[in-house]
Structure 1
């Protein structure tokens, strides 16, 4: 009961801060922000800049949820653009949780179908569950990495690089060297994931190729 009362008090405080600038959506925005961890909420109440940033992210998620037609009925080029904007919007929402792994978690969540990603953007509770699950997975992977990494890091990186290059070469022989170099800048846990998940590797290669083209 105490927790519920605390949440109610936090909700009232948040609502009173949000209402002056966002009268129409104050209720929805307060509800979305209340899904965040207590520590983040306390920080918002003490720091206006943190609150403003979080409200802006929640507003963008609301707008996206209200305009799903943007993603449908477009040609392929537009769909790929909307995928990028989905990634940006998702990253901003994931970043609110201050996990320190926003980029990795966003990448993991973006592996899902577009409809599932849209659901995450419009359902803060679901997003919180998925972020927590992704964070737990990342922690488990880093623990496994620590157990295995008795040999020198240089050897590990070299072995990873060789494995990665052979896989990248199959996907893009022309840019295999450059793309492998870019991917090797990721941390070992993320690289291991790329090696074990072909779909993730394809996505990473496409992103690296796009970066090379720009």
Structure 2
């Protein structure tokens, strides 16, 4: 089957799927989606969630500024020579955004760091795009985990600092059981610990409770 027939077949299948919900603009929406590479369209027709996301984005673009969208398409047809970096970025973002990862902007930026030829290949090879997209997503998720680990470390360091101050005050009230009582108190939230350090009567009450628990 030649390229024109493939596109025509895909267009018919897309139109059939889009028409029931968007009959007024079904033709326009189908035309917008047909700008995507044929392999991406084929995958979209097999993945209902991916198709729904793509159609919703096309509907939004159509509603926001139909005239601007038409001028973009016309401009693209007139300038079929060199592709600008901005145009590449827009086309790549549209493809990446279909996967709805939540990191579309960041992943697009990461992929655009490659040579122009490599980016052009991604636009025409959905399998390679998906592989690189997943790799970029994995990197971003790992960075997020590492940032969380750093945050957890900071919390641990803060608790250690509070523990030292708390031990000093608890030792004044019960030198014999200061370690055990401090350990019990450190199970409380950091905000409560700070309040204990500020309010002596509250600390004394907490120490008495801990002493009662130790004696049972």
TM-score, structure 1 as length reference: 0.44
TM-score, structure 2 as length reference: 0.43
From the CA coordinates, give the structure whose radius of gyration is larger.
2
